[in-house]
Amino acid sequence: MQVNINPKIKKVLLLAVPVAISNLIDMLQMLVDLLMVGRISPQAIAAVGMSIQFMGLIYVLASPLSIGTNALVSRFIGAKKREEADKVLFIAAIFAFLVSIPIAIIGVFYSKYIFLLMGTSEDVAKVGEQYFSILSLTILIIFMGAVFYAGIYASGDSKTPLKIGILTNIINAVLDYILIFGKFNAPELGVKGAAIATLIAYFIDLLLFLYIFVRNKTNISLKINSEFSYIKRILNVGIPAGIERFLTYLSFIVFVRIISEYGTYTLAGYQVGLRIEGLAFMPGLGFSTAAMALVGQSLGANKPKEAQEYAKITANIAAIFMGIFGILMILFPYQLASIFTQDEKTLQEASLYIRLVGFSQVPLAYVFVLTGVLRGAGATRLSLVVNVTSQWVFRILPSIIIMKLSSKIIWIYVIMNMETYITALWLWYIFKLGKWKKIKV
């Protein structure tokens, strides 16, 4: 029996699912790195763990270029101006490389001081310097890669980045094993080996992208040009999104600090809970990326009604995927948490967090997708106002107050859930107003 699927639903799934899988693979790569260096020493775990957090900030810094590129390329693709899209991708990649140079220099030559500034011990800072000084060379590739990924996704191709991601993650895992532990007559390099493995994998990632562009293996390519006027348009869309991500990242750090006031077991349980919730984020992030591309393409083709229809379809499908995972979180929090720890107190704390956030997965899906809709339309200033205001006014500020008044962590998690619902309703109201469909990029 053949099932006929709505072509728009099929298009959303074909774009979103590979992105979600790519994000999951990237997350698994970080877990593999941590698991392998965990066999070296506690200092190695601390150093690599903090380095991963630093790299999270690097991706935040690259986000103005990736989001701006996505918005501009999707518009040109929708308007059937392939040559303009190719020009944008080339000039954005060149600019990304130039911007990344001073950031990489800081990481290469001053990594030890970054660790000491974060309050680590001298031992951890020394190991961190060995790892992060090498890893910082990948910053040059990360900035360009962020632009390449954004351009390809915006063109409607999510399978090519997935294939590249699978291959390079396998290469990274194999090189980790060989270089960290000195297998197959290779030198035993420890954390340096982990950094070198990641650097090689990223370099291969870049070469594969350049190959598919040169050989026209995807919907977009690189057209050499010097039209830096595109950069202004990219930054006009991207800078508000970058500010939003940075302030959101900062609010996350502050929120962790609030959680830490409730004790070590609560903090550990929260970290375990975040890893479980992170699995639910994967479809949300995938559908958010799909919404950015499809909305941008529809508006570029001067089809605002189609853009709205794609937005609704994408949000509803994301809600179904994340809602199912939310039900599992509500029903089986203890079992899910036991994947990461067997400590009973940590399990109890993690179970509380997992069960409560399970109730917010559906509105969180709408937050992910509608934020993607606004970014794809170029309405990044609206996205900035809504998400940052919600994070700081409706989550952080009330949590600080409750922390002073109550010793029960449950109220902090209740506030967090309420903030998610408020953000979803606010974004839905802005979406229904429809002004986002008229923004020029």
Per residue in 194-245, pLDDT (tens digit) is 999 999 999 999 999 999 998 998 999 999 999 999 999 999 999 999 999 9
Q: Is residue 308 part of a domain?
A: yes
- The answer on 219 and 184 residing in a single domain is yes
Sorted by sequence, the CB contacts under 8 Å of residue 386 that are 6+ apart come out as 423, 426, 427, 430
Q: Is residue 252 part of a domain?
A: no
- The answer on 79 and 186 residing in a single domain is yes
| Structural domain range at position 289 | 261-438
Per residue in 123-135, pLDDT (tens digit) is 888 888 998 999 9
pLDDT of residue 113: 87
pLDDT of residue 4: 65
Q: Is residue 249 part of a domain?
A: no
Of 234, 223, 230, nearest in space to 71 by CA: 234
pLDDT of residue 1: 46
d(CA 428, CA 367): 9
Q: What is the DSSP letter of 396?
A: I
Q: Pinpoint the alpha helices (H) of 38-81.
A: 42-78
**Mean predicted confidence (pLDDT) in 368-378:** 95
- The answer on 272 and 190 residing in a single domain is no
Per residue in 24-81, pLDDT (tens digit) is 887 777 777 767 876 777 777 777 777 877 888 898 999 999 999 999 999 999 999 9
- The torsion angles phi and psi of 332, rounded to 5 degrees, stand at -130, 50
User: Which band of pLDDT confidence, cut at 50, 70 and 90, is reported for residue 3?
Assistant: low
Q: Is residue 1 part of a domain?
A: no
The domain total for the chain is 2
d(CA 246, CA 107): 19
d(CA 138, CA 56): 13
- The answer on 231 and 265 residing in a single domain is no
